[in-house]
Amino acid sequence: MAKRASIEEVRAFYARVVTSASRSTDPRIERAFATIPREAFLPPGPWRLIVNGLPHETPSADPAYLYQDVLVTLDAAKSINNGEPSLHAAWIAAVAPERGEIVAHIGAGTGYYTAILAMLVLPNGSVTAFEIDERLADSARRNLAPFEGVTLIHGDATQLPLSPSDVIYVNAAIAAPPAGWLTALKPGGRLIFPWRPSEEIALTLLVRAGSHGFSVTSLMRSWFIPCVGASQLPSTRLPKTADEVRSIRSIWRTADRIPDDTAVAIYPDVWFSSAGVGGAL
């Protein structure tokens, strides 16, 4: 009879699968997924897995069931889950946290991906995690207590000031990032968030802070719960077609530059443009 794999072997295989699915080539990301125990950031099992939108209860509290590329429910009533591992592996690869960098994690949940980000910026880096849901914030604070350089803040990150950051990692859908988040980005800093300006659009945007402005790259589709304080914003222009959505090349603070005829989406404090940061379309 074949010997059953240890939980460490199961976790290592899971890490290889999700990083491969994400097309990440950074071995540090695979190592982080293999090292951080997912079950330590979840309520006691059995667990509710979500596959193609359908719930499946695990047969027992064996943590081996968690090491699949699936969502795990944290709060069914609020549609809050632990997040799809391969999507997060792809996002983490896109922002590429480096040793010693400063990260702001907005929408930390119970802290699983916060812990992975924290591992990637060791040594000398730090992560400030924000969670607006009090129960989740309390869980995250307990779960993250063993991790170096991690601070958990229970509060609304759209209203609280962010420290100068190399990476801002947002896990709740927003219509537009607050201007303060752009201001907090250090030169070369990266902001990644799920853009949800309308019911029809659910797209990951990656923002990079350069010497001439904030460039934008669109990545994969992404569906997240709304971000309190940033999901319902007044706008004077929204993209009407998929081509317009894909045309976005930069984002501007309105205080720095007023919207012009390249505007694809306009909000009170920021606007998206089809022109690059150097002005080229």
pLDDT tens for 229-249 read: 888 888 889 988 888 988 999
- Chain position carrying tokens 């795990």: 72
Say if residue 2's pLDDT is above 80: no
* pLDDT of amino acid 33: 98
Q: Say what the pLDDT of residue 188 is.
A: 97
Question: Which amino acid is present at 124?
Answer: N
What is the pLDDT confidence band of residue 1, given thresholds at 50, 70 and 90?
Answer: low
Q: Which helix (H) or strand (E) holds 176?
A: none
CB 213 within 8 A of CB 190: no
What is the distance between the terminal CA atoms of the chain, rounded to a whole angstrom?
63
Strand order in the sheet with 80-81: 54-57, 48-51, 71-75, 80-81
- The pairing of strands 165-170 and 185-198 is parallel
The CATH-assigned architecture of domain 7-273 is 3-Layer(aba) Sandwich (3.40)
Residue 169: HSE in the Cβ half-sphere, 13 Å Cα cutoff: 30
Cα 162 to Cα 9, 184, 228, 229, distances in angstroms? 38, 6, 16, 15
Least confident of 15-24, 180-189, 231-240: 231-240
Kindly report, residue by residue over 73-101, the tens digit of the pLDDT: 999 999 999 999 999 999 999 999 999 99
pLDDT band at 281 (very low <50, low <70, confident <90, very high): very low
Which residues does 190 contact at the CB level (< 8 Å), separation at least 6? 94, 95, 96, 166, 167, 168, 206, 207, 208, 209
Give the pLDDT mean for 51-67: 96
Residue 192 CA to chain centroid, in angstroms?
6
Residues β-bridged to residue 251: 214, 272
Tokens linked to 98? 């480096």
Q: Which two tokens stand for residue 229?
A: 């304080």
pLDDT tens digit string along 195-221? 998 888 889 999 999 999 999 999 998
pTM score, whole prediction? 0.95
pLDDT band (50, 70, 90) for residue 252: very high
Q: Percent of the chain scored above 70 by pLDDT?
A: 98
Q: What percent of the chain has pLDDT over 90?
A: 83
Residue 185, burial from CB neighbour count under 10 angstroms (0-12, 13-18, 19+): buried
CA distance 96 to 188: 11
198, HSE (Cβ side, Cα atoms, 13 Å):
11
